[in-house]
Amino acid sequence: MHLTPSLPPSLLLLLWTSLSLHPPAAAAAAKPQNAILLSDVQSLTLRGGGAQTKHRRVSAVPQLRCVSPPAICRLHEIDVMRCANQGSGYDAQDIQWSCTASLPPELKLGSTDVLCEGYSSPDDPYVLKGSCGVEYRLLLTDTGEAKFPDIAKTGGAEKKTMSEKIAAALFGVVFALVCMIMIYSACVNARNAPNAPRRPRDNRWGGGGGGGFDPGFGPGGGGDDWNDPPPPYPGPKYSSTTGNQGWRPGFWTGAATGAAAGYAAGNRRSGQSSSYESRAGPSSSSQSTSSARYEGTGFGSTSRR
């Protein structure tokens, strides 16, 4: 006979508690390898130049994105930024970051917020590896404000000047005036134009419109003089210049149209020039930062998409 030794109740309770608090390795390995807790990430290295994050649920985003006004962002593009985990905030996965990048003396880093893709949802504490990017702000230093007073005055926002607003309003008025003149002239000429062209008549046969025989229009209508010369009929007797001509633009219509077209062409050239400068960035040395560099630091928190 073999006797099975029994475990003391206290030992059984300890074993059950241990299994409940520490699940088997198979259960712990259920999370995919490309999912990670941000609290386990000690540092991030992000790159500019159009480099994109990895993605799974949503679209990829730039690893580095400047969220300052465009005039400031164009002054300098960050090539590499390194962010370090500075511990958690209100919960274990609300990681705070300090980020550093090489900057010219005219600029400094403001906020540097890390944005990552939640693995299964925006609320998932696990994030997809390689999905983190940084949205950063650039600010002018005292040196930058002295070198770029226009940007400092507007905060970097691209606003239309008062002269541009006035010119745009005048163009709208001129354009409306041209349209009104053209419509009015067309209506007046259409009203004055004859319904059908008429041949001049001679009353030598019909006696002044009385009861003369008109082979084409019946009695009393005044007949055509078969001895009249064929059209066109020369001389003032047969002239009907006003009635037969269609609408033609007058002097003021032409002047207004020319002014509108000239302004539109100039405004288009100005817009194309501004658009080109916007794509190409600063075109003169006065809008360029110096070649000197220093390590700027910014701070931010974490968000998920």
Residue 282 to residue 269: CA distance in whole angstroms: 18
Coil, strand or helix: which one is 223? coil
User: Between residues 168 and 37, which one has the greater pLDDT?
Assistant: 37
Residue 111 to residue 301: CA distance in whole angstroms: 9
User: Between residues 186 and 202, which one has the greater pLDDT?
Assistant: 186
Q: Mind listing the pLDDT tens digit for each residue in 41-75?
A: 999 999 999 999 999 999 999 999 999 999 999 99
Residue 271 to residue 148: CA distance in whole angstroms: 23
- pLDDT at residue 260 in the model: 55
Average pLDDT, integer, range 72-82: 97
User: Between residues 202 and 128, which one has the greater pLDDT?
Assistant: 128
- pLDDT at residue 185 in the model: 81
In this predicted structure, the answer to whether residue 3 has a pLDDT above a threshold of 50 is no
**Average pLDDT of the residues of the chain:** 75
Show the tokens assigned to 18: 């241990």
Q: Mind listing the pLDDT tens digit for each residue in 258-271?
A: 655 555 555 555 55
Coil, strand or helix: which one is 275? helix
- Which of 19-23, 61-65, 212-216, 256-260 is predicted most confidently? 61-65
Alpha helices in the chain (DSSP H): 9-21, 25-28, 70-73, 142-147, 149-154, 162-192, 241-244, 251-280
HSE of 90 in the Cβ direction (CA atoms, 13 Å)? 3
- pLDDT at residue 250 in the model: 57
Residue 143 to residue 105: CA distance in whole angstroms: 7
Taking alpha carbons only, the member of 133, 52, 64, 131 closest to residue 103 is 64
Q: pLDDT band for 229, please (50, 70, 90 cuts).
A: low
Give this prediction's pTM: 0.54
Q: pLDDT band for 17, please (50, 70, 90 cuts).
A: low
- pLDDT at residue 282 in the model: 44
Backbone angles phi, psi at 127, to 5 degrees: -120, 160
User: Between residues 242 and 163, which one has the greater pLDDT?
Assistant: 163
- pLDDT at residue 91 in the model: 86
CA angle at residue 41 from 35 to 43, to 5 degrees? 135
User: Between residues 175 and 246, which one has the greater pLDDT?
Assistant: 175
Beta 107-116 vs 133-140: how paired, if at all? antiparallel
- pLDDT at residue 205 in the model: 46
Average pLDDT, integer, range 2-14: 57
Residue 137 to residue 108: CA distance in whole angstroms: 8
Average pLDDT, integer, range 101-119: 97
